[in-house]
Amino acid sequence: MREIVFDTETTGLSPAGGDRMVEIGCIEMIGRVETGRHFHCYFNPDRPMPSEAEAVHGLSDIFLSDKPRFADKAEELLEFIGDAPLVAHNAGFDFGFLNHELEQCGRMAVSMSRMVDTLVLARSRHPGAKHSLDALCTRFGVDRSQRVKHGALLDAQLLAQVYIELTGGRQIGLGLVAAAPSAAGEPLATAETVNRPVREARPHAAAPEEVARHRAFVARIVNPLWDRFFAPTSERGAA
């Protein structure tokens, strides 16, 4: 099954209040295996970046000033995500901004039925624990050392690894799922697809000299335990 793990960065918390999406990062997975394909883009929000938001993701007005508008990249984004389920952490937030941007440029909103929320999964699996992306990376041993500030593509890459752990762990890739295509479009190797040479069966029978040495060794054992159970029938009867 094809899934898209994604994350967004924004100018604030409320698309209805005028906040805009300024970055999106999407990671393609097939059979819960990353394929190497991704979509990543920054957007000019056509509004000033609040200092509070810039402190979170580091995207300044100057940096975003020459970036495309969302409408310029909407078709490319929609083509990439296709009809796959969309996985995000606190997914209602990201869906809210994604659909707001789509509606602003006259596109159909993405159905909420496609939403997979890893925050809900984490709360169900680990009730009472911390469920931030940082906390989940720590719990599952996902390296987040490069996450100095929030970034949509980096966070989507981290979330993809967390999602694997939340839905079965690394064992799902041990030949139990269909092979995912690589970045070049070719299937990744699995236990079924690897072309290994056929080897002749190895001999398992003992050589005659080995049998002779074994019998000589056994004959030297005094009062062996197995004689109590495997003595000749006549001896057992006499006993």
Structural domains of the chain sorted by starting position, each given as residue range(s) with its CATH number in brackets:
2-173 (3.30.420.10), 208-238 (no CATH)
Task: Give the global pTM.
Answer: 0.70
Q: Identify the CA nearest to 152 among candidates 50, 2, 6, 35.
A: 6
Residue 136 has pLDDT above 70, yes or no: yes
Q: Catalytic pick from 57, 150, 204, 214?
A: 150
**Res 183: pLDDT:** 40
Average pLDDT over residues 208-231: 81
Six-digit token pair at 42? 């920054």
Q: Identify the CA nearest to 116 among candidates 195, 6, 231.
A: 6
Q: Is 89 a catalytic residue?
A: no
- pLDDT-above-70 percentage for the chain: 81
Q: Which residues contact 39 (CB under 8 A, 6 or more apart)?
A: 24, 25, 26, 76, 77, 80, 81
pLDDT digits (tens, 9 = 90+) for 119-135: 999 999 999 999 999 99
